[in-house]
Structures are given as structure tokens and as C-alpha cells.
Amino acid sequence: MATTTERPAPVQPGPVARPAARRRLADRDGVLAWIFLLPSVVYIIALVALPFGLAIAFALSDVTAGDPSYDFAGLRNFARAFDDPVFWRALGNTLIFTGISMVLIVVLGKVLANILIADFKGKWLVRFFVLLAWTTPVALSSISWLWLLDSIYSPIDWMLRQVGILGPHENMYYLGEPGWAMASVIAVHVWRLTPLAAIIMIAGLVAIPRDIDEAARVDGAGYWRRMFEITIPMVLPVVAVAALFGAIFTFTDIAVVRVLTRGGPNDATQVLASWAFYRGIEGGDVAQGAAVALFLFPLLLAAAIAILRAVRRIEVR
């Protein structure tokens, strides 16, 4: 009598469990997270935290270009800044410069963004010339404006003479009179930053669903009603981001003031960033320059908190 032996069923190969210690580096989420964050952390420490700490240390010392030895001076440099009338004038100019510039940058950036997303012939050429103002190095563009605003050879004055606004021998002192000098500095700064604000706002305009705009058109809503009831409310968070970037660039801007007016005439266009540079670098009083520069921090912090809170309120609505 034959007996049959049952063969065991073949075992299907399953996934081989790897020891936790032998897993590849690409499989470790925690390690990869720190590797990807490391460049940003190094960048912030090297270019933000370290200079900020040095500025605080210098502001509490008596370091100068002629005597680099460190001696603790307490709050003496801040008291000297409060007693300096140029500091208060620079502070007021900074607030005026930033406030007017931000309003113009946001408004003109929104207008320019609407133009750039429209469909018309030669749109790529218009975008090229608009971005050219932002991509051009600030020193080069400021030197160009220095020639355009020259009191003798200004082509702007030549055009005004041709249309009869100026007399044949009359000149405009754009950079020589306090009011015109501040207006010129603001105009050049707005000209530089408006393309950046427009590009940021284009991202918000493109993200608006088309069906919302089409439904408003079907309901008979006109251009201005769609603008104020649909477009602007939906792009307000993006507008706030553009305003935040513009505020940071405006508060810390020094190139336009330095090239065009060097803070003149009679400190009429002096701002905190330029005054800190002139006192700390050109004047050699490193400690005093650091103390003046530190006043930018609370202003920037207050502006950033206000803008971010406004964005949060808009998003909650």
C-alpha cells in the first residue's frame, strides 16, 4: 500500500525587515529634515543672528575706527543718539519715506499687475521692460537717475521746456531743494520696487478661480464692482506680503539716498540706514553707528507684526 507524503507549500518571500541601525540615510525622516534645514539655519546664523549680536555688542561699547579696543559703555551711545537732532530728523524722514513709498508701491503694483496679466500683443516686451527696473543693479539705476535729475543737463527739464512748462533758461533743482529732493528719492525708490510688488500680486491674481469672475459677469457685475468686491478681497493676503517685503526693503534702503543726495540738502533726505552708515563707517564712530542702526529693529518688528496680524484677520474672514 503506497503512502503519499505531502510536500510543504513553498514559502512566499516577504519583505526582509532591516534593522533600524542599518536603514539607509534616505529613509530617516528626522535626519533628512535637519539636513534640509541646515543651510537655512547656517544662513540665518551667519547673516542675521551674528551681525545682530555684533551690533548690540558695538552699541554698548566705545569702539571706533581709530581705537578698536572694546570697552563697555552702557547706554551712552543711545543717549547720544537721542541728543542728536539729525537722528530725530532721520527718524521722521524714515517714517515719511516708508509710508509714502509703501502706499505708492502697493497701488502702482496692483495696477501694473492687472496690466501684465491682460492679453495683448507685445506683452512679453512690456514685461521685460518692467522687470528691467528691478533686475538692474541699484547703484547703476540710481546713477542713471542722478543724470536724469541733474540741475543743468536733465532731459526731464528739456522736455518741460519743449512743452512750455519751464522757461528757456529755467532749471528745476530736483536734488537741491529739500521738498524736491525727498520727492525724487521716493520716486526712484518706488520705480525700483513696483515691479517686485507687481510680480507678487500677479501670483494672487492668477490664483483667483475664473468661475467666480465669470459668475459675477453673468450676474451683471461691472469692472469696478468685480474689482472691489471680488478681486481686491481675494488678493489682500498677497498684497500684504508685497507690502511686508516693500517695508523691509524701504526701511533698510541706503543706495538710493547715498547715490542721489547723500542725505542732503541739509539732511533733508537723511534716513536711519544712511545716517548709521555715515556715522559708523564714514565717520569712524562704529559704536554710535551701531546704536543708530539698532533703532531699525523695533520699527521693522512693529511693521511686520502689524502686517502679519492683518493677513491673519483677512484669512479668518
pLDDT digits (tens, 9 = 90+) for 90-123: 999 999 998 899 899 988 988 888 888 887 787 7
pLDDT at position 1 is: 45
The three state secondary structure string of the chain is CCCCCCCCCCCCCCCCCCCHHHCCHHHCHHHHHHHHHHHHHHHHHHHHHHHHHHHHHHHCECCCCCCCCCCECCCHHHHHHHCCHHHHHHHHHHHHHHHHHHHHHHHHHHHHHHHHHCCCCCHHHHHHHHHHHHHCCHHHHHHHHHHHCCCCCCHHHHHHHHCCCCCCCCCCCCCCCHHHHHHHHHHHHHHHHHHHHHHHHHHHHHCCCHHHHHHHHHCCCCHHHHHHHHHHHHHHHHHHHHHHHHHHHHHCCCHHHHHHCCCCCCCCCCCHHHHHHHHHHHCCCHHHHHHHHHCHHHHHHHHHHHHHHHHHHHHHC
17 pLDDT more than 80: no
- Tens of pLDDT, residue by residue over 24-66, are 666 677 777 888 888 888 988 998 889 899 999 999 998 898 8
Whole-prediction pTM? 0.81
213 pLDDT more than 80: no
60 assigned to some structural domain: no
287 assigned to some structural domain: yes
218 assigned to some structural domain: yes
pLDDT at position 67 is: 84
294 pLDDT more than 70: yes
Please report, for the domain that includes residue 254, its CATH number: 1.10.3720.10
Report the domain count for the chain.
1
pLDDT at position 249 is: 82
* Domain interval for residue 310: 84-316
